[in-house]
């Protein structure tokens, strides 16, 4: 009986060890992606949507747009794909608000594509994949918050895109980790599961 109890404890300890190891690997991957910009020549820059308030981008969305416009102006890609549908209570989509902001920043309308149906990362990137495949394009630089870009890249690749991540640079990743530990922890779980689960 004692041997059986010890065997059960060993199996539980082993399982917990495996889970801890997988989580640590995921955490390291999310943090690495948050600190490293993979931006390189591509066919399009994809900006993940975020909240907008009465036609104005939220600070989070504005940071993503500013970063994407800077990449566009560097010549990283000839197209900007703006995503995000209409949230409850809104009259305009995040993508439409983003378009006005990008136009004001000097991006020509001919360079902008809109995916304005998605309300989640998965929905938006599935829409982006359809939009780009129709134009025979599949190589993208995905722009989002530092802790979100790993999951966004995973989802984009799941949708058949060749994706590289480019996190916004509003502050240091370590400072963000101290300020948003819950966000970081959530992404360490969501990022690996995004290969098979729609968030």
Domain ranges of the chain: 2-193
Highest mean pLDDT among 23-32, 39-48, 179-188: 39-48
- Residue 1: the pLDDT is 55
Mean pLDDT of the chain, nearest integer: 89
Q: What is the pTM of this model?
A: 0.86
Confidence grade of residue 84 (pLDDT, cut at 50, 70, 90): very high
For the domain covering 2-193, report its CATH number. Answer: 3.40.50.620
Q: What is the DSSP letter of 87?
A: P
pLDDT in tens, 33-80: 999 999 999 999 999 999 999 889 999 999 999 999 999 999 999 999
pLDDT the model gives residue 196: 67
Burial annotation 118-143 (CB, 10 A radius, 16+ → b, else e) = bbebbbbbbbbbebbeeeebbebbbb
Q: Is 90 exceeded by the pLDDT of residue 112? A: yes
Mean pLDDT, rounded, for 169-185? 75
DSSP label at residue 110: G
Give first-to-last CA distance, the chain, whole Å. Answer: 44
Kindly state the percentage of the chain with pLDDT values over 90.
Answer: 64
The confidence band for 173, taking pLDDT boundaries of 50, 70 and 90, is low
Provide the H-helix boundaries in 109-197.
121-133, 149-158, 173-179, 181-193
Q: What's the CA gap between 183 and 180, in Å, rounded?
A: 5
The single-letter DSSP state of residue 180 is -
Q: Write down the pLDDT at residue 91.
A: 81
Cα gap 194→123, rounded to integer Å: 12
Q: For residues 162 and 87, which has the higher predicted lDDT (pLDDT)?
A: 162
Q: Which structure tokens are listed for 74?
A: 């560097």
pLDDT above 70 coverage of the chain, percent: 91
Q: Which of 12-21, 93-102, 123-132, 159-168 has the lowest mean pLDDT?
A: 12-21
Q: What is the mean pLDDT of residues 176-184?
A: 78
pLDDT at 6 over 70: no
- From edge to edge, which strands make up the β-sheet containing 112-115? 112-115, 80-83, 44-47, 139-144, 162-167
Asked which of 45-54, 107-116, 155-164, 168-177 is least confident by mean pLDDT, the reply is 168-177
């Amino acid at each position: 009986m004692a041997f059986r109890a010890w065997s059960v404890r060993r199996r539980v300890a082993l399982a917990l060890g495996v889970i801890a190891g997988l989580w640590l690997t995921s955490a390291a991957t999310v943090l690495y992606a948050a600190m490293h910009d993979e931006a390189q020549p591509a066919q399009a820059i994809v900006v993940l949507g975020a909240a907008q308030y009465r036609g104005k981008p939220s600070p989070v969305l504005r940071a993503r747009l500013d970063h994407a416009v800077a990449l566009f102006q560097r010549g990283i890609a000839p197209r900007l794909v703006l995503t995000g549908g209409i949230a409850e209570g809104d009259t305009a989509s995040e993508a439409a608000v983003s378009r006005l902001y990008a136009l004001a920043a000097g991006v020509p309308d001919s360079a902008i594509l809109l995916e304005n149906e998605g309300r989640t990362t998965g929905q938006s990137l599935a829409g982006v994949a359809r939009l780009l495949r129709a134009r025979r394009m599949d190589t993208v630089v995905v722009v989002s918050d530092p802790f979100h870009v790993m999951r966004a890249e995973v989802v984009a690749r799941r949708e058949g895109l060749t994706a590289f991540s480019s996190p916004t640079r509003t502050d240091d990743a370590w400072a963000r980790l101290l300020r948003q530990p819950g966000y970081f922890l959530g992404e360490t779980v969501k990022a690996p599961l995004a290969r098979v689960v729609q968030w």
